[in-house]
Amino acid sequence: MSTQYGNQPTGQQHASTNNNVLSIIAIVLGVVALIFLPIVFGAIGLVLAIIAKTVRHERLATVALVVSAAGLVGGMILGAVVAGA
């Protein structure tokens, strides 16, 4: 069965459509964690990146893991330096 918008079967996504939503959110949260509330945003970013990697097998999940971890650790170090100054 085809739709009126082409020969794409109903109920299936187009092959070139890649869904990296969780990974992109995790990357953004990792960058935000570098500056603002690193424990909260970094931890949420790490959880989303792990879910994206293990459950959804997204391509950007590894990048999201690295950015979230760097944001978490870097934000805490930056916060300690600023608070100690």
Question: How confident is the chain (85 residues) per 10-residue block, as mean pLDDT?
Answer: 63 60 92 92 93 89 93 93 87
pLDDT of 15: 44
Q: What is the secondary structure of 26-65 as a DSSP string?
A: HHHHHHHHHHS-HHHHHHHHHHHHHHHHHTS--TTHHHHH
Q: What pTM did the predictor assign?
A: 0.74
